[in-house]
Amino acid sequence: MEKGELLYEGKAKRVYKTEDPKLFIVSYKDDATAFNGEKKGTIVGKGVVNNRMSNIMCQMLEDNGIATHLVKELNERETVVRAVEIVPLEVIVRNVAAGSFSKRFGVEEGTVLKNPTLEFCLKNDALGDPMINDYHILALDIATEKELKEMREMTFKINALLVEHFKKIGVKLIDFKIELGRVDGKIILADEISPDTCRFWDVETNEKLDKDRFRRDLGGVEEVYQEMLNRVTK
């Protein structure tokens, strides 16, 4: 399949049209950003890790009844995905307090939450991706009540599957962000699952195995990305 016109370029990926209007090609970049683009850099090999790992995780979710945008991996950086109408929300699940959650609510990082929490943020860089609640989403006609219910149920199911999967390879899933979209009126997962979009801690040591190493200048960024890929491909 040939790449056509560049449709969209984001912080971490480029999306290209193909000869089939129902299919796009996603190309993963090594560019890294944090704090809504205020911090920028490069993580060598990140695109390869995120492409491969996301496809492995999407396939696992597909095998467990979660519809995703995954069609076919083309090479180490590029994957064919279904054309999706993205719902302009970031959907965030937190199992353990960390990052902005800890700052916002004064909860010590590493505190296991009584139950997983779900947050919606409006996808808008200019506004800083503000948190948004169900009433706002309905008032702004971003999604319907039926879609919101479907999104919640799907996201919590994804969380349960991911938590169990990562536990088996010695990793705690602290939190993660996904985007969802519509295909033929159905909500599907339309995002990556990688060290860019998830917080991963080692079960034994609590070592951070994700983009927090870039955000917080902890060093060893390329190494932990590769470590996560190695674990999921064992």
Determine which of 13-22, 35-44, 57-66, 98-107 has the lowest per-residue pLDDT on average.
35-44
Segment 153-163, tens digit of pLDDT: 999 999 999 99
- Write phi, then psi, for 3 (nearest 5 degrees): -75, 135
- 36 falls in which pLDDT band (50, 70, 90)? confident
Please compute the mean of the pLDDT values over residues 93-115 and round it to a whole number: 97
pLDDT at 37: 73
pLDDT at 225: 97
pLDDT at 163: 98
pLDDT at 188: 98
Average pLDDT, the chain: 96
- 68 falls in which pLDDT band (50, 70, 90)? very high
Does residue 136 register a pLDDT over 80?
yes
Segment 169-195, tens digit of pLDDT: 999 999 999 999 999 999 999 999 999
Would the pTM count as exceeding 0.85?
yes
Domains and CATH numbers, the chain: 6-82 (3.30.200.20), 87-220 (3.30.470.20)
pLDDT at 1: 84
